[in-house]
Amino acid sequence: MGIFKGFTFVVSFSAAPGAAGPTATTAISAHLHSRNVSADTHLSTSQLSHSILGAAGSSHNSQNQADADYRLADLHPAGDSAWLGSKEFVVKHIEDAGGVVAEDLGSILDVRNAAARNLVSNSVVVLVAGRPSRTKKFLMSVALGIPIVSSMWIRACLAEKTLLDYNAFRLSNGMSLELGHWCAAPPVQGGVFEGLRIYVQTKDDVKRADLEEILHSGGAQTIKKKAFRANVKCDFVVCQVKPSNDDVMFISQRSSAKIATFEWVSQCIIHQRLLPLTAHPKYVEWDD
């Protein structure tokens, strides 16, 4: 059965903070000649250029939030658990259906380049996830306006032996702190951070790179430390951990930029609008 012939997959699983078990996230980039994909549509290999990309990565938020308390086991029958929690199981079924497993989102998108948004808007790009999460690639997909659907879509395609329309399997952007509920705001053209210059304050180079990539996905321009020291214009400083008094002094001496938490970044992406820092304490307060 070659349902996914012509697709390239990147599959990754991670445990969200406080969640009961691992979750699967897989992103799909499908370049189709037609956007109207349905069970009645025949798609040949020559009509497809697909990339399915893993949406798991290191989580950037460990706070106690409603989506971290979400329990898949309470909502899905035991027979679905492998689809939602076993990478090996999902990879095997993808490969058996003609799919090829690749590595990451960066293999098809350069999020620093505005052309990445054109690629998204001019093709069918889908993120497949077990549930809404706060992983790097999930947030990047929301920021880029990539449709997000349940991993059960893959299961359904295999059960029906055809490529089904993903719209019946769409998921939300994530949990809104302000609304106290799941948020499904439509994407903003150009990105929620378009036109903003943002400096990321952290001593962890790996986390800095991850945070900058998420911000780039939202249309922001990030500033390097050397440029920030030279008093380059900056709109926001995002601190990965609570800044020390010395950090605050360093920032205030060089810029009038507002200081925010990564939670603010996440919530702006989830809401698809620039949120005022006064809208929630978590936007300016760090966990100890």
Q: Going along the chain, which residue ranges are E strands?
A: 8-9, 11-15, 22-32, 48-54, 100-101, 124-129, 148-150, 174-176, 181-183, 197-201, 221-223, 236-239, 258-261
189: nearest Cα among 110, 132, 114: 114
For domain 8-171, which architecture applies?
Answer: 3-Layer(aba) Sandwich (3.40)
Are the beta carbons of 185 and 33 closer than 8 angstroms?
no
Examine the pLDDT at 88 and tell me if it is beyond 70. yes
Question: What pLDDT digit, counting tens, does each position of 150-198 carry?
Answer: 888 888 999 999 988 888 988 899 999 988 999 999 989 889 999 999 9
- Same topology, domains 8-171 and 197-283? Answer is yes
Question: What pLDDT digit, counting tens, does each position of 239-278 carry?
Answer: 999 999 988 888 888 888 999 999 999 999 999 999 999 9
For domain 197-283, which architecture applies?
Answer: 3-Layer(aba) Sandwich (3.40)
The residue extents of the domains of the chain are 8-171, 197-283
Are the beta carbons of 240 and 259 closer than 8 angstroms?
no
Question: What pLDDT digit, counting tens, does each position of 90-130 carry?
Answer: 778 878 887 666 566 666 666 666 666 665 555 446 677 77
Are the beta carbons of 83 and 152 closer than 8 angstroms?
yes
- The DSSP result for 167-192, as a single string, is GGGB--SEEETTTTEEE-PPPPTT-T
